[in-house]
Structure 1
Amino acid sequence: MKSSPRSEDVEPAISEVVYISIWTLRQDRRTLDFVVACAGHKPIFVFSNHSSSGLTAAFLELRIPHLAESMKKVIPDRRVFAIVGIETVAERLAAAWEALTGHRIKQPAYYQATHTFCTRQTLAPLTASDVGMCRMGLATEGHILQAGRLCSAFTQSAHDDPYQLSVQQGIQEAKRLIQRKELYVCDVLRGGRADDYDVVCIIAVTRKSTKVAAVSKVFTHENYRRRGYAKRLLAHVCHEVLRTKQQIVLFVAHDLKTAAGVYGRVGFVGVGDRPMSERALVERWLELGFEDTDTGHW
Protein backbone atom coordinates (compact mmCIF):
# COMPACT_ATOMS: atom_id res chain seq x y z
CA MET A 1 0.00 0.00 0.00
CA LYS A 2 1.29 3.43 -0.90
CA SER A 3 0.13 6.99 -0.26
CA SER A 4 0.84 9.53 -2.96
CA PRO A 5 0.46 13.26 -2.18
CA ARG A 6 0.24 15.20 -5.43
CA SER A 7 2.19 18.23 -4.18
CA GLU A 8 5.41 19.33 -2.51
CA ASP A 9 5.85 18.57 1.19
CA VAL A 10 5.13 22.16 2.24
CA GLU A 11 2.09 23.96 3.57
CA PRO A 12 0.06 24.96 0.49
CA ALA A 13 -1.79 28.26 0.16
CA ILE A 14 -5.50 27.85 0.81
CA SER A 15 -6.32 28.58 -2.84
CA GLU A 16 -4.17 25.73 -4.16
CA VAL A 17 -5.51 22.38 -5.29
CA VAL A 18 -4.06 19.31 -3.57
CA TYR A 19 -4.81 15.69 -4.43
CA ILE A 20 -3.75 12.74 -2.29
CA SER A 21 -4.19 9.14 -3.37
CA ILE A 22 -3.94 5.80 -1.57
CA TRP A 23 -3.12 2.70 -3.61
CA THR A 24 -2.93 -1.02 -2.92
CA LEU A 25 0.19 -2.38 -4.64
CA ARG A 26 0.40 -6.02 -5.64
CA GLN A 27 2.98 -7.86 -7.65
CA ASP A 28 0.86 -7.97 -10.79
CA ARG A 29 -1.23 -4.80 -10.45
CA ARG A 30 -2.08 -1.76 -8.37
CA THR A 31 -5.52 -0.56 -7.27
CA LEU A 32 -6.57 3.01 -6.49
CA ASP A 33 -8.41 2.92 -3.15
CA PHE A 34 -8.96 6.58 -2.19
CA VAL A 35 -8.49 10.08 -3.55
CA VAL A 36 -8.67 13.15 -1.31
CA ALA A 37 -9.38 16.48 -3.01
CA CYS A 38 -8.57 19.81 -1.35
CA ALA A 39 -9.61 22.66 -3.63
CA GLY A 40 -9.91 26.37 -2.88
CA HIS A 41 -12.17 27.10 0.08
CA LYS A 42 -14.25 23.94 -0.25
CA PRO A 43 -14.54 21.00 2.18
CA ILE A 44 -12.15 18.08 1.88
CA PHE A 45 -13.76 15.47 -0.38
CA VAL A 46 -12.70 11.83 -0.19
CA PHE A 47 -13.63 9.49 -3.04
CA SER A 48 -13.27 5.74 -3.43
CA ASN A 49 -13.44 3.30 -6.33
CA HIS A 50 -14.90 0.74 -3.93
CA SER A 51 -18.59 0.35 -3.11
CA SER A 52 -19.81 0.62 0.48
CA SER A 53 -19.95 -3.17 0.77
CA GLY A 54 -16.22 -3.38 0.04
CA LEU A 55 -15.28 -0.76 2.63
CA THR A 56 -15.00 -3.15 5.55
CA ALA A 57 -13.63 -2.20 8.96
CA ALA A 58 -10.42 -4.13 8.26
CA PHE A 59 -9.98 -2.45 4.85
CA LEU A 60 -10.44 1.02 6.33
CA GLU A 61 -8.29 0.39 9.41
CA LEU A 62 -5.33 -0.44 7.19
CA ARG A 63 -5.65 2.61 4.92
CA ILE A 64 -7.36 5.54 6.66
CA PRO A 65 -4.49 6.32 9.11
CA HIS A 66 -2.08 6.59 6.16
CA LEU A 67 -4.52 8.90 4.41
CA ALA A 68 -4.82 11.18 7.45
CA GLU A 69 -1.03 11.30 7.90
CA SER A 70 -0.55 12.18 4.23
CA MET A 71 -3.13 14.97 4.56
CA LYS A 72 -1.31 16.47 7.54
CA LYS A 73 1.93 16.65 5.55
CA VAL A 74 0.50 18.86 2.80
CA ILE A 75 -2.69 20.53 4.12
CA PRO A 76 -2.69 23.06 7.00
CA ASP A 77 -4.68 21.77 9.99
CA ARG A 78 -7.04 24.77 10.08
CA ARG A 79 -7.80 24.35 6.36
CA VAL A 80 -9.61 21.08 7.08
CA PHE A 81 -12.89 22.57 8.29
CA ALA A 82 -15.00 19.65 7.02
CA ILE A 83 -14.65 16.19 5.47
CA VAL A 84 -17.20 14.82 2.98
CA GLY A 85 -17.40 11.20 1.85
CA ILE A 86 -19.26 7.90 2.02
CA GLU A 87 -20.54 7.59 5.59
CA THR A 88 -18.12 4.97 6.86
CA VAL A 89 -15.14 6.62 5.17
CA ALA A 90 -16.00 10.12 6.40
CA GLU A 91 -16.48 8.85 9.96
CA ARG A 92 -13.18 6.95 10.02
CA LEU A 93 -11.15 9.71 8.36
CA ALA A 94 -12.65 12.42 10.60
CA ALA A 95 -11.83 10.36 13.71
CA ALA A 96 -8.26 9.81 12.50
CA TRP A 97 -7.88 13.54 11.74
CA GLU A 98 -9.24 14.48 15.18
CA ALA A 99 -6.76 12.14 16.87
CA LEU A 100 -3.88 13.43 14.75
CA THR A 101 -4.54 17.18 15.03
CA GLY A 102 -6.67 17.71 18.14
CA HIS A 103 -9.39 19.48 16.14
CA ARG A 104 -12.58 18.02 17.58
CA ILE A 105 -15.44 16.83 15.37
CA LYS A 106 -18.49 19.08 15.60
CA GLN A 107 -21.87 17.66 16.52
CA PRO A 108 -24.29 17.21 14.89
CA ALA A 109 -23.04 16.34 11.41
CA TYR A 110 -23.18 19.16 8.89
CA TYR A 111 -24.92 17.11 6.22
CA GLN A 112 -26.35 13.61 5.69
CA ALA A 113 -27.40 12.83 2.15
CA THR A 114 -27.90 10.33 -0.63
CA HIS A 115 -25.45 10.59 -3.51
CA THR A 116 -27.57 9.85 -6.59
CA PHE A 117 -27.02 10.02 -10.35
CA CYS A 118 -28.84 10.42 -13.65
CA THR A 119 -27.83 9.08 -17.08
CA ARG A 120 -29.26 9.27 -20.59
CA GLN A 121 -30.90 5.90 -19.92
CA THR A 122 -32.66 6.98 -16.69
CA LEU A 123 -33.51 10.55 -17.75
CA ALA A 124 -37.24 11.13 -18.24
CA PRO A 125 -38.39 12.60 -21.59
CA LEU A 126 -39.21 16.31 -21.66
CA THR A 127 -42.90 17.13 -21.46
CA ALA A 128 -44.82 20.22 -22.53
CA SER A 129 -44.87 21.47 -18.93
CA ASP A 130 -41.07 21.17 -18.81
CA VAL A 131 -40.54 23.67 -21.62
CA GLY A 132 -43.44 26.12 -21.36
CA MET A 133 -44.35 29.21 -19.34
CA CYS A 134 -40.77 30.26 -18.57
CA ARG A 135 -37.35 30.87 -20.10
CA MET A 136 -34.52 28.50 -19.20
CA GLY A 137 -30.83 28.51 -19.97
CA LEU A 138 -27.37 29.59 -18.86
CA ALA A 139 -27.41 32.74 -16.75
CA THR A 140 -26.00 35.95 -18.21
CA GLU A 141 -24.58 39.09 -16.62
CA GLY A 142 -28.09 40.52 -16.52
CA HIS A 143 -29.07 37.78 -14.06
CA ILE A 144 -26.26 38.44 -11.54
CA LEU A 145 -28.19 40.48 -8.96
CA GLN A 146 -31.32 38.33 -8.83
CA ALA A 147 -29.40 35.06 -9.08
CA GLY A 148 -27.02 36.28 -6.37
CA ARG A 149 -29.90 36.92 -3.99
CA LEU A 150 -31.09 33.36 -4.60
CA CYS A 151 -27.56 32.01 -3.96
CA SER A 152 -27.67 33.78 -0.60
CA ALA A 153 -31.23 32.66 0.16
CA PHE A 154 -30.25 29.07 -0.65
CA THR A 155 -27.70 29.07 2.19
CA GLN A 156 -30.04 30.95 4.54
CA SER A 157 -32.88 28.46 4.00
CA ALA A 158 -31.25 25.98 6.38
CA HIS A 159 -30.83 27.63 9.79
CA ASP A 160 -28.01 25.25 10.76
CA ASP A 161 -26.11 25.63 7.47
CA PRO A 162 -22.49 26.47 8.40
CA TYR A 163 -21.85 28.04 4.99
CA GLN A 164 -24.33 30.92 4.97
CA LEU A 165 -23.65 33.70 2.47
CA SER A 166 -24.70 37.32 2.82
CA VAL A 167 -26.51 38.90 -0.13
CA GLN A 168 -23.27 40.53 -1.28
CA GLN A 169 -21.41 37.23 -1.00
CA GLY A 170 -24.22 35.53 -2.90
CA ILE A 171 -23.91 38.08 -5.70
CA GLN A 172 -20.17 37.43 -5.90
CA GLU A 173 -20.84 33.69 -5.99
CA ALA A 174 -23.37 34.13 -8.81
CA LYS A 175 -20.94 36.33 -10.74
CA ARG A 176 -18.22 33.68 -10.45
CA LEU A 177 -20.55 30.87 -11.55
CA ILE A 178 -21.89 32.91 -14.47
CA GLN A 179 -18.39 33.77 -15.67
CA ARG A 180 -17.61 30.04 -15.68
CA LYS A 181 -20.90 29.21 -17.44
CA GLU A 182 -21.92 27.05 -14.49
CA LEU A 183 -25.24 28.64 -13.46
CA TYR A 184 -28.61 27.98 -15.09
CA VAL A 185 -31.71 30.06 -14.43
CA CYS A 186 -35.43 29.90 -15.02
CA ASP A 187 -37.09 33.29 -15.36
CA VAL A 188 -40.64 34.48 -15.98
CA LEU A 189 -41.72 37.72 -17.60
CA ARG A 190 -43.48 40.27 -15.39
CA GLY A 191 -44.70 42.53 -18.19
CA GLY A 192 -44.48 42.84 -21.91
CA ARG A 193 -40.75 43.60 -22.13
CA ALA A 194 -38.06 40.93 -22.45
CA ASP A 195 -35.90 42.70 -19.84
CA ASP A 196 -38.67 42.78 -17.20
CA TYR A 197 -38.50 39.39 -15.52
CA ASP A 198 -38.11 37.53 -12.22
CA VAL A 199 -35.45 34.85 -11.78
CA VAL A 200 -37.54 32.16 -10.10
CA CYS A 201 -35.12 29.23 -9.90
CA ILE A 202 -31.38 28.53 -10.11
CA ILE A 203 -29.23 25.42 -10.57
CA ALA A 204 -25.43 25.21 -10.56
CA VAL A 205 -23.51 22.64 -12.62
CA THR A 206 -19.98 22.28 -11.25
CA ARG A 207 -17.18 19.79 -10.52
CA LYS A 208 -17.12 18.72 -14.17
CA SER A 209 -14.88 16.00 -15.56
CA THR A 210 -14.79 14.53 -19.06
CA LYS A 211 -17.69 12.19 -18.24
CA VAL A 212 -19.45 13.52 -15.12
CA ALA A 213 -20.92 16.80 -13.86
CA ALA A 214 -22.40 17.64 -10.45
CA VAL A 215 -25.63 19.57 -9.85
CA SER A 216 -26.06 21.76 -6.77
CA LYS A 217 -27.85 24.90 -5.54
CA VAL A 218 -31.26 23.72 -6.75
CA PHE A 219 -33.33 26.55 -5.31
CA THR A 220 -36.64 28.30 -6.07
CA HIS A 221 -37.69 31.80 -5.00
CA GLU A 222 -40.17 31.59 -2.12
CA ASN A 223 -42.86 33.41 -4.14
CA TYR A 224 -42.78 30.82 -6.94
CA ARG A 225 -42.67 27.48 -5.14
CA ARG A 226 -44.96 24.50 -5.77
CA ARG A 227 -45.44 25.49 -9.41
CA GLY A 228 -43.00 22.98 -10.92
CA TYR A 229 -40.23 25.42 -11.82
CA ALA A 230 -37.46 23.40 -10.14
CA LYS A 231 -38.47 20.23 -12.00
CA ARG A 232 -38.67 22.10 -15.32
CA LEU A 233 -35.25 23.68 -14.91
CA LEU A 234 -33.63 20.48 -13.64
CA ALA A 235 -35.06 18.51 -16.57
CA HIS A 236 -33.78 21.17 -18.98
CA VAL A 237 -30.31 21.18 -17.37
CA CYS A 238 -30.04 17.39 -17.41
CA HIS A 239 -31.00 17.15 -21.08
CA GLU A 240 -28.46 19.86 -21.94
CA VAL A 241 -25.59 18.45 -19.86
CA LEU A 242 -26.12 14.82 -20.90
CA ARG A 243 -25.51 15.78 -24.51
CA THR A 244 -21.81 15.77 -23.67
CA LYS A 245 -21.55 13.99 -20.29
CA GLN A 246 -22.34 10.40 -19.38
CA GLN A 247 -23.63 11.07 -15.89
CA ILE A 248 -24.92 13.85 -13.63
CA VAL A 249 -24.60 13.46 -9.86
CA LEU A 250 -26.15 15.31 -6.95
CA PHE A 251 -26.65 15.12 -3.20
CA VAL A 252 -30.11 15.12 -1.65
CA ALA A 253 -30.42 15.42 2.12
CA HIS A 254 -32.24 12.54 3.81
CA ASP A 255 -34.90 14.88 5.22
CA LEU A 256 -35.76 16.58 1.89
CA LYS A 257 -38.52 14.20 0.79
CA THR A 258 -40.17 16.67 -1.61
CA ALA A 259 -36.87 17.41 -3.36
CA ALA A 260 -36.08 13.69 -3.57
CA GLY A 261 -39.44 13.15 -5.29
CA VAL A 262 -38.64 15.83 -7.88
CA TYR A 263 -35.20 14.38 -8.55
CA GLY A 264 -36.63 10.89 -8.92
CA ARG A 265 -39.23 12.03 -11.46
CA VAL A 266 -36.53 13.73 -13.53
CA GLY A 267 -34.47 10.53 -13.62
CA PHE A 268 -32.13 10.39 -10.61
CA VAL A 269 -31.98 6.83 -9.36
CA GLY A 270 -32.65 5.47 -5.88
CA VAL A 271 -34.59 8.49 -4.56
CA GLY A 272 -38.22 9.57 -4.30
CA ASP A 273 -40.69 7.07 -5.74
CA ARG A 274 -38.10 5.27 -7.85
CA PRO A 275 -38.06 1.44 -7.59
CA MET A 276 -36.69 0.13 -4.30
CA SER A 277 -34.30 -2.08 -6.27
CA GLU A 278 -32.36 1.07 -7.22
CA ARG A 279 -31.45 1.87 -3.61
CA ALA A 280 -28.47 -0.47 -3.87
CA LEU A 281 -27.08 1.73 -6.67
CA VAL A 282 -26.71 4.87 -4.53
CA GLU A 283 -24.51 5.69 -1.55
CA ARG A 284 -25.14 7.41 1.78
CA TRP A 285 -22.72 10.32 2.26
CA LEU A 286 -21.81 12.36 5.31
CA GLU A 287 -20.19 15.73 6.01
CA LEU A 288 -18.47 16.25 9.36
CA GLY A 289 -17.11 19.61 10.52
CA PHE A 290 -14.25 20.45 12.87
CA GLU A 291 -13.86 22.99 15.66
CA ASP A 292 -11.31 25.83 15.61
CA THR A 293 -10.83 25.87 11.83
CA ASP A 294 -11.18 28.41 9.01
CA THR A 295 -14.63 27.71 7.60
CA GLY A 296 -14.97 27.93 3.82
CA HIS A 297 -17.98 27.05 1.68
CA TRP A 298 -19.32 24.51 -0.82
Structure 2
Amino acid sequence: MVCLQEIKCKELGLHEIFKMWGSNEIEWVVNGNENNAGGVITMWRKSCFHLSNVSNGSNYSIIEGEWRLEDAIQTVVVNIYNTGSVIKKKAIWEEVRVKRLMINTKVWCVVGDFNSIKCSGERRSVGCDVDHKSEMRRFNAFIESSELVDLPMLGRKFTWYKPNGLIKSRIDRFLVSREWLDRWPESKYRVLDRAVSDHCALVLDTVTVDWGPKPFRYLDVWHKDSRFREFVRNRWLSYEIQGGGLFVFKEKLKLLKADLNEWNREVFDNIFSRG
Protein backbone atom coordinates (compact mmCIF):
# COMPACT_ATOMS: atom_id res chain seq x y z
CA MET A 1 0.00 0.00 0.00
CA VAL A 2 1.21 3.52 -0.82
CA CYS A 3 0.03 6.61 1.06
CA LEU A 4 0.81 10.02 -0.40
CA GLN A 5 0.12 13.44 1.12
CA GLU A 6 -0.14 16.95 -0.32
CA ILE A 7 -1.14 15.70 -3.77
CA LYS A 8 -2.79 17.91 -6.41
CA CYS A 9 -5.86 15.68 -6.41
CA LYS A 10 -7.80 17.72 -8.95
CA GLU A 11 -5.09 17.17 -11.57
CA LEU A 12 -4.79 13.40 -11.11
CA GLY A 13 -6.13 11.09 -13.82
CA LEU A 14 -5.81 7.40 -14.59
CA HIS A 15 -2.59 7.88 -16.54
CA GLU A 16 -0.90 9.77 -13.70
CA ILE A 17 -1.99 7.21 -11.08
CA PHE A 18 -0.90 4.22 -13.19
CA LYS A 19 2.44 5.95 -13.80
CA MET A 20 3.01 6.50 -10.08
CA TRP A 21 2.15 2.86 -9.29
CA GLY A 22 3.90 1.30 -12.28
CA SER A 23 0.95 -0.76 -13.57
CA ASN A 24 -2.85 -0.79 -13.71
CA GLU A 25 -3.09 -3.54 -11.07
CA ILE A 26 -4.22 -0.91 -8.61
CA GLU A 27 -7.11 0.59 -6.67
CA TRP A 28 -7.05 3.91 -4.84
CA VAL A 29 -8.90 6.46 -2.73
CA VAL A 30 -8.46 10.22 -3.17
CA ASN A 31 -9.35 12.82 -0.57
CA GLY A 32 -8.92 16.43 -1.75
CA ASN A 33 -9.10 19.39 0.57
CA GLU A 34 -11.61 22.23 0.48
CA ASN A 35 -10.40 23.91 -2.72
CA ASN A 36 -8.80 20.85 -4.37
CA ALA A 37 -5.38 22.51 -4.13
CA GLY A 38 -4.01 19.47 -2.35
CA GLY A 39 -4.99 16.31 -0.53
CA VAL A 40 -4.10 12.69 0.11
CA ILE A 41 -4.20 9.60 -2.06
CA THR A 42 -4.00 5.99 -0.85
CA MET A 43 -3.15 3.26 -3.38
CA TRP A 44 -2.89 -0.53 -3.10
CA ARG A 45 -2.48 -3.65 -5.22
CA LYS A 46 -6.03 -4.88 -5.72
CA SER A 47 -5.06 -8.56 -5.62
CA CYS A 48 -3.58 -8.10 -2.12
CA PHE A 49 -6.09 -5.82 -0.39
CA HIS A 50 -9.90 -5.89 -0.54
CA LEU A 51 -11.52 -2.55 0.34
CA SER A 52 -14.64 -2.66 2.52
CA ASN A 53 -15.11 0.95 3.66
CA VAL A 54 -13.66 4.46 3.30
CA SER A 55 -14.13 7.39 5.67
CA ASN A 56 -12.70 10.70 4.49
CA GLY A 57 -12.19 13.48 7.00
CA SER A 58 -10.42 16.80 6.97
CA ASN A 59 -6.87 15.97 5.83
CA TYR A 60 -7.14 12.22 6.40
CA SER A 61 -8.60 9.02 4.92
CA ILE A 62 -9.53 5.91 6.90
CA ILE A 63 -9.24 2.80 4.75
CA GLU A 64 -10.87 -0.39 6.05
CA GLY A 65 -10.31 -3.69 4.34
CA GLU A 66 -8.79 -7.14 4.28
CA TRP A 67 -5.17 -7.97 3.60
CA ARG A 68 -5.10 -11.11 1.48
CA LEU A 69 -1.74 -12.56 2.48
CA GLU A 70 -1.18 -16.05 3.87
CA ASP A 71 -4.47 -15.48 5.70
CA ALA A 72 -7.19 -12.81 5.67
CA ILE A 73 -6.44 -9.93 8.05
CA GLN A 74 -9.00 -7.23 8.74
CA THR A 75 -7.03 -3.98 8.83
CA VAL A 76 -7.51 -0.22 9.16
CA VAL A 77 -5.01 2.15 7.53
CA VAL A 78 -5.24 5.88 8.21
CA ASN A 79 -3.48 8.19 5.75
CA ILE A 80 -3.07 11.56 7.43
CA TYR A 81 -1.79 14.95 6.29
CA ASN A 82 -2.05 17.32 9.24
CA THR A 83 -1.51 21.02 8.55
CA GLY A 84 -2.59 24.28 10.05
CA SER A 85 -2.82 25.49 13.63
CA VAL A 86 -2.43 23.49 16.81
CA ILE A 87 -6.19 23.73 17.30
CA LYS A 88 -6.83 22.17 13.88
CA LYS A 89 -4.26 19.45 14.50
CA LYS A 90 -5.85 18.64 17.85
CA ALA A 91 -9.28 18.43 16.20
CA ILE A 92 -8.00 15.93 13.61
CA TRP A 93 -6.26 13.84 16.27
CA GLU A 94 -9.49 13.72 18.26
CA GLU A 95 -11.49 12.64 15.20
CA VAL A 96 -9.06 9.81 14.50
CA ARG A 97 -9.03 8.78 18.19
CA VAL A 98 -12.84 8.58 18.27
CA LYS A 99 -12.88 6.57 15.03
CA ARG A 100 -10.39 4.18 16.61
CA LEU A 101 -12.82 3.57 19.47
CA MET A 102 -15.83 3.16 17.18
CA ILE A 103 -14.37 0.77 14.57
CA ASN A 104 -14.32 -2.86 15.69
CA THR A 105 -11.21 -3.79 13.69
CA LYS A 106 -8.19 -3.84 16.01
CA VAL A 107 -5.28 -4.03 13.54
CA TRP A 108 -4.48 -0.35 12.85
CA CYS A 109 -1.75 1.60 11.07
CA VAL A 110 -1.79 5.41 11.13
CA VAL A 111 0.75 6.86 8.71
CA GLY A 112 1.57 10.24 7.23
CA ASP A 113 2.67 13.79 7.87
CA PHE A 114 1.54 14.64 11.40
CA ASN A 115 3.32 18.01 11.23
CA SER A 116 4.18 17.56 14.91
CA ILE A 117 7.01 16.08 16.94
CA LYS A 118 7.07 13.97 20.09
CA CYS A 119 10.14 15.55 21.71
CA SER A 120 12.49 18.48 21.14
CA GLY A 121 15.21 16.19 19.73
CA GLU A 122 13.03 15.54 16.69
CA ARG A 123 13.47 19.11 15.45
CA ARG A 124 16.70 20.96 14.65
CA SER A 125 17.39 24.68 14.18
CA VAL A 126 13.92 25.62 15.38
CA GLY A 127 13.37 27.07 18.84
CA CYS A 128 11.22 24.87 21.08
CA ASP A 129 9.16 27.49 22.91
CA VAL A 130 6.14 27.02 25.19
CA ASP A 131 3.76 26.55 22.24
CA HIS A 132 5.89 23.76 20.79
CA LYS A 133 6.04 22.02 24.17
CA SER A 134 2.28 22.28 24.51
CA GLU A 135 1.82 20.78 21.04
CA MET A 136 4.23 17.94 21.86
CA ARG A 137 2.22 17.12 24.98
CA ARG A 138 -1.00 17.03 22.95
CA PHE A 139 0.55 14.85 20.25
CA ASN A 140 1.90 12.38 22.78
CA ALA A 141 -1.47 12.36 24.54
CA PHE A 142 -3.14 11.46 21.23
CA ILE A 143 -0.74 8.54 20.67
CA GLU A 144 -1.20 7.24 24.21
CA SER A 145 -4.99 7.64 24.38
CA SER A 146 -5.36 5.98 20.96
CA GLU A 147 -3.26 3.05 22.23
CA LEU A 148 -0.82 3.33 19.35
CA VAL A 149 2.89 2.51 19.20
CA ASP A 150 5.50 4.65 17.45
CA LEU A 151 7.50 2.24 15.29
CA PRO A 152 11.32 2.26 15.15
CA MET A 153 12.76 4.40 12.34
CA LEU A 154 15.86 3.40 10.37
CA GLY A 155 18.06 5.24 7.87
CA ARG A 156 17.79 8.86 9.03
CA LYS A 157 16.91 10.88 12.12
CA PHE A 158 14.65 13.31 10.28
CA THR A 159 11.97 13.04 7.58
CA TRP A 160 11.49 16.67 6.49
CA TYR A 161 14.17 19.17 5.42
CA LYS A 162 14.25 22.79 4.36
CA PRO A 163 15.99 23.25 0.97
CA ASN A 164 19.16 24.49 2.71
CA GLY A 165 19.20 21.38 4.93
CA LEU A 166 19.71 23.44 8.10
CA ILE A 167 16.14 23.09 9.39
CA LYS A 168 14.83 19.56 9.75
CA SER A 169 12.20 17.63 11.65
CA ARG A 170 10.80 14.18 12.21
CA ILE A 171 7.16 14.93 11.42
CA ASP A 172 6.34 11.82 9.33
CA ARG A 173 5.93 8.44 11.01
CA PHE A 174 4.07 5.15 11.38
CA LEU A 175 1.89 4.53 14.43
CA VAL A 176 0.41 1.04 14.87
CA SER A 177 -1.83 -0.78 17.32
CA ARG A 178 -0.68 -3.56 19.65
CA GLU A 179 -2.73 -5.96 17.56
CA TRP A 180 -0.70 -4.94 14.50
CA LEU A 181 2.48 -5.80 16.39
CA ASP A 182 1.00 -9.12 17.48
CA ARG A 183 0.61 -9.92 13.77
CA TRP A 184 3.85 -8.29 12.54
CA PRO A 185 6.14 -8.00 15.61
CA GLU A 186 9.21 -6.98 13.61
CA SER A 187 7.56 -3.92 12.04
CA LYS A 188 9.84 -0.95 11.43
CA TYR A 189 10.29 1.63 8.70
CA ARG A 190 13.12 3.01 6.64
CA VAL A 191 13.59 6.64 5.63
CA LEU A 192 14.74 6.97 2.03
CA ASP A 193 16.72 9.80 0.44
CA ARG A 194 14.79 12.89 -0.64
CA ALA A 195 13.81 13.16 -4.29
CA VAL A 196 11.36 15.78 -5.55
CA SER A 197 9.77 16.57 -2.19
CA ASP A 198 11.06 18.21 0.98
CA HIS A 199 9.72 15.09 2.74
CA CYS A 200 11.57 11.77 2.64
CA ALA A 201 9.69 8.68 1.54
CA LEU A 202 9.02 6.10 4.27
CA VAL A 203 8.94 2.35 3.62
CA LEU A 204 7.30 0.05 6.17
CA ASP A 205 8.96 -3.34 6.63
CA THR A 206 7.02 -6.15 8.33
CA VAL A 207 9.29 -9.07 7.43
CA THR A 208 9.98 -11.28 10.41
CA VAL A 209 13.47 -12.75 10.72
CA ASP A 210 13.69 -15.90 12.83
CA TRP A 211 16.43 -15.23 15.34
CA GLY A 212 15.33 -18.14 17.54
CA PRO A 213 13.46 -17.87 20.85
CA LYS A 214 13.10 -14.34 22.19
CA PRO A 215 14.50 -13.67 25.71
CA PHE A 216 11.08 -12.55 26.95
CA ARG A 217 8.02 -10.55 25.96
CA TYR A 218 7.73 -7.17 27.61
CA LEU A 219 4.48 -5.30 28.28
CA ASP A 220 4.16 -1.61 29.11
CA VAL A 221 1.25 -2.43 31.43
CA TRP A 222 3.68 -4.02 33.88
CA HIS A 223 4.93 -0.54 34.78
CA LYS A 224 1.48 0.31 36.12
CA ASP A 225 2.07 -2.12 38.98
CA SER A 226 4.15 -0.46 41.69
CA ARG A 227 5.80 -3.77 42.57
CA PHE A 228 7.23 -4.44 39.09
CA ARG A 229 10.61 -2.67 39.34
CA GLU A 230 11.36 -4.11 42.75
CA PHE A 231 10.38 -7.60 41.58
CA VAL A 232 12.75 -7.47 38.58
CA ARG A 233 15.57 -6.00 40.67
CA ASN A 234 15.30 -8.63 43.41
CA ARG A 235 15.06 -11.52 40.98
CA TRP A 236 18.00 -10.31 38.88
CA LEU A 237 20.25 -9.97 41.93
CA SER A 238 19.21 -13.39 43.21
CA TYR A 239 20.53 -15.30 40.17
CA GLU A 240 23.96 -16.84 40.78
CA ILE A 241 25.51 -17.59 37.39
CA GLN A 242 29.22 -18.20 36.81
CA GLY A 243 30.99 -17.47 33.52
CA GLY A 244 31.75 -14.68 31.06
CA GLY A 245 29.75 -11.48 30.95
CA LEU A 246 27.63 -12.30 27.88
CA PHE A 247 26.95 -15.84 29.07
CA VAL A 248 25.84 -14.60 32.50
CA PHE A 249 23.61 -11.97 30.91
CA LYS A 250 21.98 -14.52 28.56
CA GLU A 251 21.36 -17.03 31.34
CA LYS A 252 19.90 -14.40 33.65
CA LEU A 253 17.49 -13.33 30.92
CA LYS A 254 16.32 -16.94 30.57
CA LEU A 255 15.65 -17.16 34.30
CA LEU A 256 13.98 -13.77 34.35
CA LYS A 257 11.71 -14.82 31.48
CA ALA A 258 10.37 -17.74 33.51
CA ASP A 259 9.91 -15.62 36.62
CA LEU A 260 8.14 -12.84 34.69
CA ASN A 261 5.78 -15.34 33.07
CA GLU A 262 4.83 -16.65 36.49
CA TRP A 263 4.50 -13.14 37.95
CA ASN A 264 2.38 -12.09 34.96
CA ARG A 265 -0.04 -14.98 35.54
CA GLU A 266 -0.38 -14.13 39.22
CA VAL A 267 -0.82 -10.36 38.79
CA PHE A 268 -2.47 -9.95 35.35
CA ASP A 269 -4.09 -13.38 34.96
CA ASN A 270 -1.88 -14.38 32.00
CA ILE A 271 -2.50 -11.41 29.71
CA PHE A 272 -0.58 -13.17 26.91
CA SER A 273 -3.44 -15.63 26.40
CA ARG A 274 -6.19 -13.05 26.09
CA GLY A 275 -7.90 -12.58 22.72
Greater RCO, 1 or 2 (C-alpha within 8 Å, sep 6+): 1
Q: Answer with 1 or 2: which has the greater Rg.
A: 2
Q: Scaled by the length of structure 2, what TM-score is found? A: 0.22
